[in-house]
Structure 1
Amino acid sequence: MTSVKQFRVEEPATADSLGTGAFVFTDDYSVFDWGKMPDAIPNKGASLCAMGAANFERLEAEGIPTHYRGVVGNGEIADLDGVVAPPREMAIDLTRVPELPNEAREYDYNAYHEAAGDNYLIPLEIVFRNTVPIGSSLRSRGEPSEFGLEYDAWPDESVDLPEPVVEFSTKYEESDRYLSRKNADFIAGTADVDDLESVAREVNRTVTETASEAGLKHEDGKIECLYFDGEIRVADVVGTFDENRFSYDGQQLSKEVLRQYHKRTQPEWVEAITEAKARAKTEDVADWRELCAVDPQPLPEHVIDAAREMYTAGANAYIGRELFSTRSLEDAVGAVRNL
């Protein structure tokens, strides 16, 4: 179980076959890698399920393999168009996820792949970026000229990249870190890092085009993939307001809204997280949360309402269907803009 969705196994994967199971999307949310926060956002889970399903169906139609089998409605597996109520379950193929042994912050990927064989979840996140907002970690890892931008220094505003940038980060380490291409190729195991980049670029293109049709701007996102029978398949969930960042008329429409709200209203907690992560690195401690001295506080009711409308109205626009009973996208944007 992750912090925002539950994982159900129906038929486990074996060394030479995929299993079957489902994601059950909850209304919980997580920011700053904290895990489950004190509040729930009503209908958030169903909106993520619907957006993820729409993206998987579009990827499959374009010949990009995924682990998606359909959404679950009334106990039956169907395409998204085949359900009348917002779905909360997504049927998926399952691969194997071995334990990743570690001693403090040292992780044994050789052991992971020895246990995984040729049917496994690739222990990487593949990140794609179309813009570089203020505060992006990309700014600390390179100069604008390295990404095709004609700036001497990073400007104090979000900038669009001339070409998408693809990066790799760890998936199962307690504190994720960005990787060199050589290290990413090692961690990927049998899967080829060039093929992973190609898949990520195709997913980015598809999500960007879908967002544009809905009047949204797709800024960045990530994918996870499995490797089976010599093939890379897109896994987890793709192109939602939690996995990706979108905007509408300059206003963020993603989990970033909640991140920024916490930065403004609970700075002591955000600062404590930063300090805990730094201390964990210094002391070679894997789980930084045990070092964090401050806990997050619940959200005001009007913030929860605005977040609910952001997720549901945004999902309606993205999938091109009034699946959720909610305000218009313009009204939802106005509500989060005023937080």
Structure 2
Amino acid sequence: MPVLHSTKNLHVIEPPTPSREGVGVFEYTDHYTVFHHGRMPDEIPGKGEAICRMAHVNFLLLEEAGVATHFRRFLPPNRIEFTLARTPEAAAASPGPAPSGNRLLPLQVLFRNELPAGSSVHRRLAAGDLAPADLGLDTVPTAGTKLTRPLIEYASTREDVNRFLTPAQARHLCGLDQEQLTALHDTTLTVNRVLTRHAEKAGLSHCDGKAEYLLTSDRRLVLADSPGTPDESRLMLNGVHLGKQILRDWYVNSGNTIPTGKLIADGVPRSRWPRPASLPPQFVPVMSDLYRSLSERWTGERHGGVPDLAAIVATLAGLPRR
């Protein structure tokens, strides 16, 4: 029985043990998520395969650049086999001393190159949670500001409401030493550089993204998840979003936002959360074309029958905002 993740199903082929990693297969589905709600009502045909093919190319690019990843092999059209580590909860529950390796870190390392509309940075600046100096800027940035150097941030991943963390807090949460934290930072910069250069070659902007890591049984840091896909990175073409920000904006503008933060704070069990509204019927085929065309441009593969990405972006302008 597969384990259902937000947009992927996990099939455990060989379970990890305290002394060695296991083997898993991610099946990329046509589901999408916004607002940390989990799977939304609609499926977007072709999204899973499109994301999987992009992830495959990204793993090859990153490994060529010397980044160790959990990737093992591509299983067309929409599955990837990977090295499977223990979850932080399973590692902590193991008998004996505190676990040192063979575990997924409960951390995401975020990288930011640009600050487009929709970036959480603008909200955090307005709330006083960030200052322009934290971004290396003298004044509050406008939407679309490009940073002179990438901004690296840390956040938790396995909490009801994930938190931004200082480097010291991230190190403590993951049980890393200073050398490992430095390696985490430097590897993330390499990941960002490789993906940003590839995006530029494809005529796209790679505005921001995130990386997750596991620590092997011999305490090596290894890149995990699916970096550089539109589920993990913010990609744009000529200032237009090419991913779930389009869907998020519709929910916000139409008054159908899901207040997950308040529901969690109020202790409302997920079984009692309101069912999200479905997308307008016009959205699904356009988003399907968008993901498939973006994948073709990113991977250089052609599977036929997909409009050009620029034409799809033009179509997006005609979709209902509310």
Give me the TM-score of the superposition, normalised by structure 2: 0.89
1:12 matched to 2:33? The reply is: no
Aligned residues: 308
Match of 1:88 among 78, 81, 85: 78
d(CA) in 2 for partners of 1:289, 1:138: 28
Equivalent residue, structure 2, for 1:63: 66
1:97 matched to 2:83? The reply is: no
d(CA) in 2 for partners of 1:263, 1:310: 21
CA contact (8 A) 1:23 1:91 kept: yes
RMSD, aligned CA: 2.3
Residue 92 of structure 1 aligns with an amino acid whose one-letter code is F
CA contact (8 A) 2:117 2:144 kept: yes
Residue 302 of structure 2 aligns with an amino acid whose one-letter code is E
Equivalent residue, structure 2, for 1:83: none
How far is the alpha carbon of 1:114 from its aligned partner? 5.5
Match of 1:261 among 210, 225, 250: 250
How far is the alpha carbon of 1:290 from its aligned partner? 5.7
Equivalent residue, structure 2, for 1:161: 147
Counting only pairs closer than 5 Å after superposition, residues 298-337 of structure 1 correspond to structure 2 as: 298-323=278-303, 325-337=305-317
d(CA) in 1 for partners of 2:219, 2:44: 39
CA contact (8 A) 1:280 1:291 kept: no
How far is the alpha carbon of 1:302 from its aligned partner? 1.5
Unaligned runs of 5+ in 1: 74-86, 102-108
Deviations 1:167-195 (A, max 9, x none): 11111101111111111001121362221
d(CA) in 1 for partners of 2:165, 2:70: 25
Equivalent residue, structure 2, for 1:145: 133
Identical-pair percentage: 31
* SS across alignment from 1:301: coil
Equivalent residue, structure 2, for 1:205: 193
d(CA) in 2 for partners of 1:67, 1:334: 37
CA contact (8 A) 2:100 2:219 kept: no
Match of 1:134 among 105, 117, 127: 117
* SS across alignment from 1:241: coil
- Structure 1's 262 and 111: CA in aligned 2 closer, same or farther, altered over 3 A? farther
How far is the alpha carbon of 1:115 from its aligned partner? 5.8
Deviations 1:73-121 (A, max 9, x none): 3xxxxxxxxxxxxx111011111114279xxxxxxx8999956431100
Equivalent residue, structure 1, for 2:229: 240
Match of 1:218 among 167, 191, 206: 206
How far is the alpha carbon of 1:246 from its aligned partner? 0.6
d(CA) in 1 for partners of 2:69, 2:93: 26
* SS across alignment from 2:11: strand
Equivalent residue, structure 2, for 1:42: 45
* SS across alignment from 1:225: strand
